[in-house]
Structure 1
């Protein structure tokens, strides 16, 4: 799994170092070591997953982060791999002196996901409570709330943050709230919370959180407090609103500025669309092609996106707009948005958006909108194949890489491989013989029925010492693949092997695939006529991968460039 090569691209970028399915295979390996904790590669695999998920420090350079879909998937893989190995790798990551704050924050969040009860994870988070960056301290406190239940070390650290006279109110509130989750019955947690309630210098919001935590971990403490401290439920209910309103007021102007701008733009566009007197697609398309008023143009594009679902005429008009050299990027973005609403699964819309993503002249916003639209309108493997084929040579744009990554997550490897190599001649694709066999095995594994009924055994004919009589070699290969041994010993002749083959009793149908091996690059293979004559008399699922047309018509032959679907169809019929 860790050494799998998918044959789809060469990667030498700082932020991409493997093929799409090579990552998938590695992430599967990470999940596997959760079941095989003593695997000799477990530490290496966990460290590699952390590198992809959080970046790495090259010499004398800034911290390097991998492209977002790799990063996100690697962080998810950490939740599935061997927990102690992952925690150790994350703790080691946090020791790097030049680690940026965002990465440190992400690592603390991951420890809060996988580190429940782990002393190393708790110790690392406690250390982060002293970090200079407030949001790092905040995340450390939140993660301790998740993984530190009953842990004296975690409780003591949160108590220290709560009692600090120099700590930010933001952190004290998280500490008060966290103690209510992990400090049940702990006297060391109860006393500081009571002290907060009795304090005259702590803000109301922090006191309310302290009261709620006490109510959770030691309700009697609230009853025991003197009335003069004014900790009645009414006070905390009243404090709840002003406390939160003050927090909201700090960010309100910035939020309203952003929301108002976006909302106003959308409102004006929709109002403009409403001014149009017609909803006739033909009339609107004519107006689209004749107006020189950009606001009216935008209104037409908006309206076409609401009335033209599945209408080839409308879709064609919007596609033409995407391809126009006389409109601005904003108009292209509107056309891309409208195609999302009306062009799902439409090949022309997909092709136009792919073409837009190939462009080096449009701005980043237009690239992003085209990618977003394309991601929404693809429906099946036919659509995804168009995306892969069209964008595989334009991966300098992150949007394009992200789209192909999404396709790879939803396509069987053989389908993706064929889409990637579509357009190459058969000889060029077929030279890499092992790829066909890898594709075939992957397709079987991904098929719910075939994976339960087919046992594929690939036999390299280049390794036959006796080409006329390879009976013992074939038999050995089959037994090593898990089939039962022959009671009469190793077959010496093809006739003996035929008897063994016909009596072979297994849970799955054994399929023999004879191929020329990875060392053959000539495209043609010569088989012994004696061997072919003998094997042609065998019953069962047997085939050859060969460019040559074999003279024995009873033999099933597939070319190295053969469609995987055709081979699968043959397997289904022969089950």
Structure 2
């Protein structure tokens, strides 16, 4: 089979009689294999490529683009194609604006086109793409274009000398430019001597300036084991007057100088000269990373414990000391003393956590955590702080041993005594993680479900109850009742969403989601956005869900077409995390959700409904809405046959 028309034979007079295997995913591998065969005449391949890039689909170019992308991929199997340069040039223009030389090319392109073009660049003739980027970095006069083009070139061709050289020649007269150049080098120049030499030169030239920090961090990302970089960092460590740069040099050595004797000796010397300072703790950590077991580290950490007046530093040093030497008696004694004598609940909590990491049965630490839990609301000066401490202590107790009854009882007690809804909801959520099978936890959640008037808390409790006691007959009826009786539209929505999560396909829940959209499609924009998010989670194979989608999809499309920008993008529940959605985000999110729930049988009607919104005039009036519509129709074009799409859009 050498005739390319077996794959593609466009019959303008009767599309159903044409052959359009080029648009069928299952034929793609076969088509690319055809281009790789040596016994297929070269002119046949040339003609096929020409037919693909010249294809006039007569339906908004959606299939023209698909044909063009297939031609571009074919170049990977047929790189000698005479049309290769022109095809790659067009791909680059669609992918990156800085490849468009003609002002007529400077229109804003739809994101699906740009995204697919960039993906295809990875699949086409790589040599041509690399050559185009090399030419760009050598000819552009724009510093920003040079940087992003060099980064892309480094991604396409790791270690590319042109990309690294271009970045290396960028001046760093401003901190912003220094940061951008160093950041770009770190992405593409791992281990490259030229890039390392450039950064080392910068560090040696401006060792005390803040801009030097960026170069130091960059060396710490990609100069692993490089002696030139290590030597420069050691010199900086010993000579710089900028304490921040000194700290950065220490951190970088800890990442790239494993086993390097020069770096080890420098850090040991640094610890001998500088005793008890915070920077010594950083140096000790770095030294242990490059020379595990070094006695100077243990000595320095113990010195901090014995001499420092900084309680926070002492706790950090003791905690780290326990991490590298779990049986260290000095660290254990220090943290135990903190438990007994510190007046700071935060310090005691930190010390208890550190001790429990090495000994989960440390009863003194556990007792302190229980004491902190009981302190909930005891401090009139800073009640929020004590609540935070109490909750963190409770969670730690639960994590130590999820089956520990005392820990679970602490969560239960927190729920029964806390009046602050933020901590109450956190504790309820944690019961869902740690309270499996616990009677007290189950009873507490049941009581909370029965008594609370707070919709969010009810749903949270119902979700946790389902986790720790699957099949419990309380949660689902409680949510159903709230759906039917709540006077708050937000509450009904949240209950419906929660019910769908624990009882997928529940008819009442899905009906409520649809009803809210139908009754208030314009007033409750934030409710609809929550519902849109929830739709993505539904079981699309469920027959009931499929029936309801027939009601939901037209409502969402109608909402998409009339949605106006205003300030009503707030979440209904003030005590839950709020995601502020922009006008553009709302439109694109609805479009994205639609593409995930549309079934194949919906696609022709969706195209028919939306096709008139692809005009240039509509784009001028509402570019965001145009983009959302374009995204949906692009999805339809990818999932309909060419004749079916052509019929729907014309």
Q: What TM-score comes out, normalization by structure 1 length?
A: 0.54
SS at match of 1:394: helix
C-alpha distance 400-160 of structure 1, shift in aligned 2 (>3 A): farther
Quick check: 1:304–1:338 contact (8 Å CA) kept in 2? Answer: no
Residue matched to 1:270: 456
Residue 420 of structure 1: aligned partner: 645
Distance 1:274 1:222 in 2: 53
- Pair 1:147–1:318, CA change in 2 (3 A): closer
Matched with 2:527 is 331
Alignment match of 1:3 (pick from 50, 53, 56): 53
CA distance in 1, matches of 2:108, 2:135: 17
Q: Distance in 2 between matches of 1:389 and 1:375?
A: 15
Question: Is 1:319 the counterpart of 2:505 in the alignment?
Answer: no
> Of 629, 632, 641, which aligns to 1:403?
632
C-alpha contact 1:301 1:338 (8 A) present in aligned 2:
no
| CA–CA distance in structure 1, aligned partners of residues 199 and 72 of structure 2 | 33
Say if 2:568 is the partner of 1:353.
Answer: no
Report the Cα distance in structure 2 between the residues aligned to 1:157 and 1:90, rounded to whole angstroms.
22
Give the structure 2 partner of residue 489 of structure 1. Answer: none
How many angstroms does 1:109 deviate by?
Answer: 3.2
CA drift of 1:296 comes to: 3.7
Instruction: After TM superposition, list the pairs within 5 Å mapping 1:412-451 onto structure 2.
Output: 415-423=640-648
Asked whether the equivalents of residues 483 and 491 of structure 2 are also in contact (C-alpha less than 8 Å), the reply is no
SS of 1:80's partner is coil
1:195 to partner: Cα distance? 1.6
Query: 1:301-355 deviations in whole A, cap 9, x for unaligned?
Result: 5445446633455434422322335632122223333433446362323333233
1:465-504 equivalent positions in 2, closer than 5 A? none
How far did 1:113 drift?
A: 0.8
- State the Cα distance separating 1:374 from its structure 2 match: 2.2
Match of 1:31 in 2: 73
SS of corresponding position for 2:91: helix
Alpha-carbon displacement from aligned partner over 1:267-322 (angstroms, at most 9, x marks no partner): 8863264699984587556447xx3x445444445445446633455434422322
CA separation of 1:98/1:309 partners in 2, compared to 1, >3 Å: closer, same or farther? same
64 and 114 in structure 1: CA distance in 2 versus 1, 3 angstrom threshold: same
Q: For the Cα contact (< 8 Å) 2:234–2:249, is it kept in 1?
A: no
SS at match of 1:81: coil
The count of corresponding residues between Structure 1 and Structure 2 is 382
Matching of residue 69 in structure 1 with residue 124 in structure 2: no
Q: Aligned runs of 1:247-396 on 2, under 5 Å?
A: 270-271=456-457, 273=459, 279-280=476-477, 286-287=484-485, 291=487, 293-303=488-498, 305-306=500-501, 309-312=504-507, 314-325=509-520, 327-342=523-538, 344=540, 346=546, 347-348=549-550, 349-361=552-564, 364=583, 365-378=585-598, 381-385=600-604, 387-395=606-614, 396=619
Structure 1 residue runs of 5 or longer lacking an equivalent are: 11-18, 246-262, 429-575
Change (3 A) 1:124 1:61: farther
Q: 2:504, 2:611 → 1: CA distance?
A: 29
The answer to whether residue 241 in structure 2 is matched with residue 201 in structure 1 is yes
Distance 1:223 1:234, change over 3 A: same
Displacement after TM superposition at 1:106 (Å): 4.3
Mapping of residues 112-191 of structure 1, within 5 Å: 112-128=154-170, 130=172, 132=174, 134=176, 137-138=178-179, 140-145=181-186, 147-148=188-189, 151-165=192-206, 166=209, 168-178=211-221, 180-181=223-224, 188-191=228-231
- Calculate the aligned-residue CA RMSD, in Å: 4.4
Distance change (3 Å), C-alpha of 1:389 and 1:46? same
Output the CA distance in 2 between the equivalents of 1:131 and 1:72. 34
Distance change in 2, residues 1:120/1:42 (3 Å): farther
Change in Cα spacing, 1:149 to 1:84, as seen in structure 2 (3 Å) is farther
Deviations 1:370-397 (A, max 9, x none): 224323334x533555554544443452
Distance 1:39 1:234, change over 3 A: farther
- More displaced stretch, 65-74 vs 226-235: 226-235
Aligned-residue offset at 1:122? 2.1
Q: TM-score, normalised by structure 2?
A: 0.49
Using the alignment, how far apart are the partners of 1:296 and 1:67 within structure 2? 38
Question: Does the C-alpha gap of structure 1 residues 6 and 271 become closer, same or farther in structure 2, counting only changes over 3 Å?
Answer: farther
What CA deviation, in whole Å up to 9, does each residue of 1:475-507 have, x standing for no partner? xxxxxxxxxxxxxxxxxxxxxxxxxxxxxxxxx
Shift of residue 192 of structure 1?
1.9
